Structure formats: C-alpha cells, structure tokens
Structure 1
Amino acid sequence: MKRLIALVMLSLSLHAFAQDQSKEKPMTLRGVLLEQLKTTHNVEDWFVPANIAVQGLTPEQVNWKSKPDMHSIGELTYHILFWDKQSLAKFKGETPEKFSGNNDETFTNFDSKKWDATVRELDAVMTEWEKAVESADDKKLAESASTIAHIGTHNAYHIGQIVSIRKEQGSWDPAKGVK
C-alpha cells in the first residue's frame, strides 16, 4: 500500500512539474529550436553555453592538449564555428564556403593567433542563427527543424568537451556552472 501511495504521489508531482514547465515556455517548434540555440550560445540553463565555455582563455590554453591525438579547445571552437556557418549559409539559401569534405580540416585549420576573432565570430554566427530562426516562415522552419535541432545537439556536445578540457588543464572556474 505504501508503494502505491508513493507511486501516486510521484505521478501527481511529475504531472504538476510538467504543467509548470509548459506554462513557463511556449512549446512551439520555433520556441523549442530557439531555446536549443540560445542555451548553447549564451543562455545558462542545464549546461554551460559556448560564450561562458570559451571565456577568458589565452592562446596557450586554447592550444593545450592532454594527449597528441585529442582536440584542443581552439580546434573544437573552430569546428563548431565552421559547421554553424556552413549550416546557416544553406538555411539562408546562400552558398557555403568551399569544403573539401575532410572533417579533420574543420578542426585543424584553427589558428591560435586568431583566437579572439574566432570567439567573436562564433558569437556573431550563433546570434545570426537565432535571428534566422526567429524570422523564418513556418514552412521553412518545419523543413529545417531536424537540422537546427542537430546543430544545438552538436554544439552542446563540443561545448561539453571544451569544459572537460578546461577542467583537466585547471582553467575552469566551477562557479561558472559546472563543478
């Protein structure tokens, strides 16, 4: 009987939680996609966004690798920027920059002398993605929803790697969101 009561209480709690969540945020396709893009860009939520993950790093820190075959923070940031730019150009009906098809180049073409410019460009491209989703018509949004959702997932994955590298190298401040 205690188990049944506990299950009923849990069920009611989860139902109330779900209803509270739906009241906070509009659950439209546009709303969900924007939320995904913003939480990987500059809105703190369940995980650290890119702007915080790459904040305050030196060129030496962004080049650091725990092992020779691992990616550096700079390489990961450049990779995110590359694919966000490619996808955005396609979404807008523009021709993306030429790409050989070798994904390794989307990491290795990073230049630490351009770190600050890379960070600024990543912020600008992520902002542009948000504006593009905000202004897209419903048909375009529906056709591109899966791609946009994957961009958010891809960004979150690599941002997690960046934070992990920062923790490993000792450059992460746990007060920024991840202990």
Structure 2
Amino acid sequence: MKPLLFLLLFSLPFQASAQTPTKTAPTLRSILLHQLQTTHNQEEWFVPANVAVAGLTAEQAKWTDGKGNHSVGQLATHLVFWDTRNLEKFEGKPLAKFSSNNDETFNAFDAKQWATTVRQLDEVLTAWEKAVESADEKKLEAWAPTIANISTHNAYHIGQIIYVRKEQGSWNPANGVR
C-alpha cells in the first residue's frame, strides 16, 4: 500500500503539468523575428533603436566627445548602411559599389538629413522583419547566422548610441538605462 501511495503522490505534479497548456515551441523564424524586433522597437532586455534615437535634434545627433568616438548620427548612418546592404543582398537585389572602407559608412552622416536617417533606420528594420516573416524556410536556414549577427550588430551600436547620449547629457534614464 505504501509504494502505491508514494507512486500516486509522486505522479500528481506530472499529471497537473500535463494538463497545463504549453506555449508553442519557438521556431527559427520566431527567434529571428524576436531578435530583430527587440533591436528595433520592442523594449525588453535593452533599449531598442527607435527609443535610442528618439527626441534627438540634428545638433545633438552630430555631437562628439572630441576623442575620436562616433556621434549618434554617425552610428545610426552606419546601421542604415549595413542593414540596407544586407537586406538588398537577402532580397537578391544588385548591390551598389562599395570601397570596403567601413569608415565611409560612419562618415556619410549629414546632420541636415538627421530626420531622414531616423526614418530610414525605422524603415530598414521594419523591412527586415517583413522579409523574415515572408521568407521560405530554406532561405531562413541559410541566412540565420547572418540575420542573428545583424541583430547583434544593431544591439552593439544601439548601446554605443545610449552611451554617447549619456556622455552628452541628452539621455533620459526613464527610457531604460540609468
């Protein structure tokens, strides 16, 4: 009798959990989309791009610390360049000539175009999400490492944007980073 009672008591937690609805298992697509969204406009573990650049004037976007570090505008321009170039490659579009000098991707920033840069950053990140949503499984599997690296690259530079804004005094800690 005691072994039967033990077995019954031991199995109760398993029976209860078997009746609890479970979440759908993540897919490659859902994971890649989540990474893209959290570096774009979905606040989770860190500040996304849209929040990082929000509310900056063109004057603030071109500010540098005078020590050779990039401005927020330069960082955002760099992200627009690489996200756009990789998206064009993903979509099979012809790529514009590029000298392979990465400094050019930062130095193309023009403060007069700051509002356009912010819009382009939002547009390319949205376009990446749509491209991942509609891509077939084979393409996603082939591109998964690159797309994951794009998200990591975005997160890295978004962190720099926050740091520059903190140094400048234009960051509001209520936006996510103290």
TM-score range, shorter chain: 0.7 to 0.9
SS of match in other structure, 2:177: coil
Q: How high is the sequence identity, in percent, across the aligned residues?
A: 61
Letter in 2 for 1:95: P
Partner of 1:44: 43
Deviations 1:107-165 (A, max 9, x none): 00111100000100110110000000000000000000000000000000000000011
Gaps of 5+ in 2: 1-21
Partner of 2:171: 172
Is the alpha carbon distance of 1:174 and 1:24 closer, same or farther for their aligned partners in structure 2, counting shifts above 3 Å? farther
Structure 2 distance, partners of 1:26, 1:117, is 39
Residues matched between the structures, number: 157
2:88 aligned with 1:101: no
Letter in 2 for 1:50: A
Partner of 1:29: 28
- RMSD (Å), alpha carbons: 1.1
Letter in 1 for 2:45: W
Partner of 1:88: 87
TM-score when scaled to structure 2? 0.86
Partner of 2:112: 113
Letter in 2 for 1:118: T
Structure 2 distance, partners of 1:65, 1:26, is 45
Q: Tell me which structure has the larger Cα radius of gyration.
A: 2
Partner of 1:57: 56
Is the alpha carbon distance of 1:57 and 1:26 closer, same or farther for their aligned partners in structure 2, counting shifts above 3 Å? farther
Partner of 1:129: 128
SS of match in other structure, 1:90: helix
